[in-house]
Amino acid sequence: MKRLFLILTISLILFISCTGIATQTYSLQTPLFEKQSGIKLVLITDLHNTKHGANQEKLIKLVKEAVPDIILLIGDIIDNISTIEGTRMLLSGINNIAPIYYVTGNHEYMTKEIEFIREELESFGVHILSDTYVKLEINKNEIILAGIEDPYKRLYETPYYNQKEVMENKFRELDGVHVYKILLAHRPELIELYKQFSFNLVLSGHTHGGQVIIPNLINGLYAPQQGLFPKYAGGLYKHDELTHIISRGLSINFFLPRIFNPPEFVVIIIESD
């Protein structure tokens, strides 16, 4: 009985210690930008409707302080179990800070209400990147921002949906475009597919940081579709000219505790080199 109490106490302490938001900042360089210029991105993923403070005040404060040029939502912002209230609170607090772009995750499809979710997001001014891309000019720098739907689209909306075929049809034409190109793609384990295209930067989530981290030993214990000790759990990965950043996400779930792995708020600064 004492041993069980000790285990529960330690588990509770570890859980509480990993509920505060950690900010992770990445600085990247590119020759494609004007000299002495850059852009700042905020990456939010895997919120799962989690509330960080009253009315999402903690998360909203971080977004405001970052002063981003663009806010990127990379899937699983909404959950198929909890209510949408936490997401509404967040969007109502950040929709006047910077343009917001979104791609689906698997949990948005698992709600079986994907059309309702799209309408909700659009009501807050969110731009949905559904197997498409946009050209943007930010601080005199042109970028291409692309978004690919989560593969669960095939299960819940469009039978026979094939992500590889869609990317060939929609994004292959970008190969000869000499500007900085960013792909929003929820699932990091599909990086071998993303590498076949001419993107400079891929942004993902989905792994929740592998749930459990042991500093200097294990970067993540388990991730969906990757299993134990995932290769792509969280952080920055280089694939020749392609940079892949994976957020550890912002969800908090007592039944899926995060150990040495706090919710992560990601800021990405891209500057001329």
**What's the average model confidence in pLDDT over 210-231?**
94
Q: What's residue 1's pLDDT?
A: 58
Q: What's residue 83's pLDDT?
A: 85
Per residue in 185-213, pLDDT (tens digit) is: 999 999 999 999 999 999 999 999 999 99
**What's the average model confidence in pLDDT over 5-16?**
47
Per residue in 21-64, pLDDT (tens digit) is: 999 999 999 999 998 899 999 999 999 999 999 999 999 999 99
Percent of the chain clearing pLDDT 90 (strictly above): 88
Q: What's residue 6's pLDDT?
A: 45
Q: What is the pTM of this model?
A: 0.93
All structural domains of the chain, each given as residue ranges with its CATH number in brackets, are 25-272 (3.60.21.10)
Per residue in 90-131, pLDDT (tens digit) is: 999 999 999 999 999 999 999 999 999 999 999 999 999 999
**Full DSSP string of the chain:** -HHHHHHHHHHHHHHHHT-SPEEEEEEEEETTSPTT-EEEEEEE---TT---SGGGHHHHHHHHHH--SEEEEES-SS-SSS-SHHHHHHHHHHTTTS-EEEE--HHHHHTT-HHHHHHHHHHTTPEE-SSEEEEEEETTEEEEEEE---TTHHHHT-TT--HHHHHHHHHGGGGG--SEEEEE-S-GGGHHHHTTS--SEEEE--SGGGSB-BTTTBS-SEETTTEES-S-SSEEEEETTEEEEE-------TTS--BS---EEEEEEEEE-
Per residue in 234-269, pLDDT (tens digit) is: 999 999 999 999 999 999 987 888 999 999 999 999
Q: What's residue 17's pLDDT?
A: 47
